[in-house]
A and B are shown apart, each in its own frame.
Chain A
């Protein structure tokens, strides 16, 4: 593998005096989809916060593009091309689809270009362009969230619980989009509670439990027994 585009090296992270990540290592290559799996409270969202710069690790390093960027501001990383889609989608419910896409023009792209690429990738959003985002279905909101992130032309995409609250059919459709995004060269780190959903599109999988990496390797090699063991604590 060429040099990874993103690495976590022996990262520890805490909320006050409570340590949540205990020396975690992670590596994502260019154009790779890495699934970060684990039960509730494993530390998955904390890891996303560390990678996106929202939470400074208490020790360890965050290496992005070959440079130690531990402590870099989240907005600076986002501006460079490290984009996060948070749990709960992060769209503006009181704005229309078009207005939500307008928020992405800070990256320097024209609204017309953003709309064109969005409606090509997600035709359903084209029908809803003047609809308030908060009145759309969960799946459509997730599409809008993805579209807004992609409008910034990210190099690294962090997805936190893409499937939350969505029907299995919609989730499958969204993960096909994620696979297409990765095929374009974007590196994707997906946090997901529901392992089977994401393992079909992931290249690598990392299983986190109690703040430590239990298993990591090719997604195709992580079996049901390994997952059950980690989730059920055996």
Chain B
């Protein structure tokens, strides 16, 4: 290992692009989805209250468009993000568990086969 290799290594490490300090993307999208859901519900209710507080049709339509409709859109988008990433986490744990159980079963099968082989060769 010569100094050139260490130097090259240090340079390549120096050029690495790093993700941000808190860049657990999945977790943040899950939180964003939850916040979108809550904000959307709040906005929809707010728009509804504002619309019900006036008799002017134009104002009612404006409150519904900018409050309730946008709120509903946020609810749908937030719910989609929240459900998608919640399911992803659940499925990941489920898959890991399946792999773990499969490995345990394979080990048991191998153990049983070895027992049979030992008994047959006696």
Q: What is the distance, in angstroms, from A182's C-beta to the closest C-beta of chain B?
A: 10
Is there an interface contact between A155 and B18, defined as CB atoms closer than 8 Å? Answer: no
Cα separation A155 to B13 with both chains bound (whole Å)? 11
Cα separation A72 to B23 with both chains bound (whole Å)? 11
Which residue in chain A gives the minimum CB-CB distance to B89?
A16
The answer to whether A170 has its CB under 8 Å from any CB of chain B is: no
Q: What is the distance, in angstroms, from A78's C-beta to the closest C-beta of chain B?
A: 11
* Cβ-neighbour of B1 out of A65, A77, A80, A184 (below 8 A): A184
Tell whether A30 pairs with B19 under 8 Å between CB atoms, given A67-B13, A79-B12: no
Cα separation A71 to B10 with both chains bound (whole Å)? 17
Is there an interface contact between A31 and B20, defined as CB atoms closer than 8 Å? Answer: no
Cα separation A65 to B6 with both chains bound (whole Å)? 9
Tell whether A69 pairs with B1 under 8 Å between CB atoms, given A30-B6, A56-B24, A155-B6: no
Which residue in chain B gives the minimum CB-CB distance to A187?
B1
Number of A-B contacts (CB under 8 A): 55
The answer to whether A70 has its CB under 8 Å from any CB of chain B is: yes
Is there an interface contact between B18 and A69, defined as CB atoms closer than 8 Å? Answer: yes
**Which of B1, B6, B24: most chain A Cβ within 10 A?**
B1
Is there an interface contact between B23 and A66, defined as CB atoms closer than 8 Å? Answer: no
Cα separation A79 to B18 with both chains bound (whole Å)? 15
The answer to whether A185 has its CB under 8 Å from any CB of chain B is: yes
- In the complex, which residues 117-143 of chain A have their Cβ closer than 8 Å to any Cβ of chain B? none
Q: Mark B3-20, 1 if CB is under 8 A from A, else 0.
A: 001101110111011111
Chain A at the B interface: SS class: loop
* Cβ-neighbour of A80 out of B9, B19, B20, B24 (below 8 A): B9
* Cβ-neighbour of B5 out of A71, A73, A153 (below 8 A): A153
Tell whether A67 pairs with B14 under 8 Å between CB atoms, given A81-B9, A184-B1: yes
Is there an interface contact between B16 and A155, defined as CB atoms closer than 8 Å? Answer: no
The answer to whether A104 has its CB under 8 Å from any CB of chain B is: no
Q: What is the distance, in angstroms, from A19's C-beta to the closest C-beta of chain B?
A: 15
- In the complex, which residues 76-95 of chain A have their Cβ closer than 8 Å to any Cβ of chain B? 76-77, 79-81
Which residue in chain A gives the minimum CB-CB distance to B15?
A80
Which residue in chain B gives the minimum CB-CB distance to A155?
B9
Which residue in chain A gives the minimum CB-CB distance to B8?
A81
Is there an interface contact between B18 and A70, defined as CB atoms closer than 8 Å? Answer: yes
10 smallest beta-carbon distances between A and B, as pairs: A185-B1, A80-B12, A65-B13, A65-B10, A155-B9, A71-B19, A81-B9, A72-B16, A71-B18, A184-B1
Instruction: Please list 13 pairs of residues, one from A and one from B, whose beta carbons are closer than 8 Å in the complex, sorted by A's number.
Output: A16-B89, A56-B24, A65-B14, A66-B10, A67-B10, A67-B14, A67-B16, A72-B18, A76-B16, A77-B13, A81-B8, A155-B6, A185-B2
Q: B: which residues have CB within 8 A of A?
A: 1-2, 5-6, 8-10, 12-14, 16-21, 23-24, 89, 93
